[in-house]
Amino acid sequence: LTSKLKELGLTEALIVCDQPDENLLLSARNLKDIFVCDVLEVNPVSLVGFENVLITAAAVKKLEERLS
């Protein structure tokens, strides 16, 4: 995760996934300013609170279903 974030040039981000991923949570919990949530937890305040939001394709699909 750290190498991918460095590759993208990100030092802070919200990562939104379609379902809880324990490996992702474990790898992100020790990184400062990197937060992980699933689609059911994401809200407008959390989205605008981060300059960078990474969202998986599956999470986008679930979010579209939830909002339509």
Please provide the distance, in angstroms rounded to a whole number, between the alpha carbons at the two ends of the chain: 32
Predicted model pTM: 0.88
Total domain count for the chain? Answer: 1
Phi, psi (deg, nearest 5) at residue 63: -65, -40
- Predicted confidence at residue 13, as pLDDT, reads 96
- Report pLDDT digits (tens) over 12-51: 999 999 988 899 999 999 999 999 999 999 999 999 999 9
Tell me the sheet residues that pair with 38.
17
Domain that holds residue 28: 2-67
